Amino acid sequence: MIPDVDNDSLVYLNGEYVRLGDAKVSVLDRGFIFGDGIYEVVPAYGRKPFRMDSHLARLERSLKAIGIKLDMSRADWEKLVRDMLVRASSDDAMVYIQVTRGVAKRDHAFPAKAPKPTVFCMVSPFKRPAAAAREQGLSTVSMPDVRWLHCEIKSVSLLGNVLAKQHAVEAGVDEVIQFRDGFLSEGSSCNIWVVKNGTVLGPVRDNLILEGIRYGFIEELARAAGVPFESRRISREEVEQADELMLTSATKEVLPIVSLDGKPVGNGKPGPVYARLRAGYDKAIAAL
């Protein structure tokens, strides 16, 4: 049993609902042996999933990218998410979905006969960002991005992200901002945004970042707020000289970054563009 976890909560595992404490996966599952699998996280407010279509579309893209085939339609995934939310212990929740290639003899190559994929799903309480983070902002530290070159796949192989987050913890800050070859990539588990002269800048949507669901959403919010938006390569110098920095993720929503490497971002306080996007984000949640 895992301390501080509700082992009596129900989870979905390979077509059945079982107690979390009773859920078991073979040690030969390729997700355990190789990290051969993908995952997705769908946030929900008031038990209503937020931007579920985008999350499930990314789930399907990730499955296709690594060649896992499942006999599950979009409607099946939607039903699973909604069924899990009925079982949630809180109104605001996160639905976690993980799919691995399945159980097979240990061999790096895909099994000649494809095993049945392992499908796991659980729901957990979602604690929204605290008022202090929203109003006072976050601190960050920079580091080189040394992860693999397929960051666009939401893979369960997250060691690089784990090490990046631990770097932030050991530096006593909230998050890292990573750079590859002198250009902005992302945080340990979030997208990073730069504001300069009133324009929101986002890194190019390629294989070097995970295109967070909030990426397209931030573009929508910027358009609705009359804020110019540009997607392009962003140099480290531009990040260091930004008027504002922000981060986004399913769990962090959108939050301001007020320091980088011990130096203030802009005037060291959450900026006006962040405030406009934050207001739009909250409005979208309220409209569910």
CA–CA separation, 278 vs 84, rounded Å? Answer: 28
DSSP string, 254-279: EEEEEEETTEESTTSS--HHHHHHHH
Give the orientation angle of helix 52-65 with respect to helix 213-224, to 10 degrees. 140
Q: Is 165 a catalytic residue?
A: no
CA–CA separation, 207 vs 22, rounded Å? Answer: 37
Q: What share of the chain is helix, strand, coil (3-state, %, to 5)?
A: 30, 30, 40
Token look-up 């006006």 returns 272
Question: Angle at Cα 79 formed by Cα 74 and Cα 81, nearest 5°?
Answer: 95
CA–CA separation, 215 vs 212, rounded Å? Answer: 5
Q: 64, 127, 154, 196: which one is catalytic?
A: 154
Query: What 3-state DSSP class applies to 105?
Result: coil
- Catalytic positions are 154
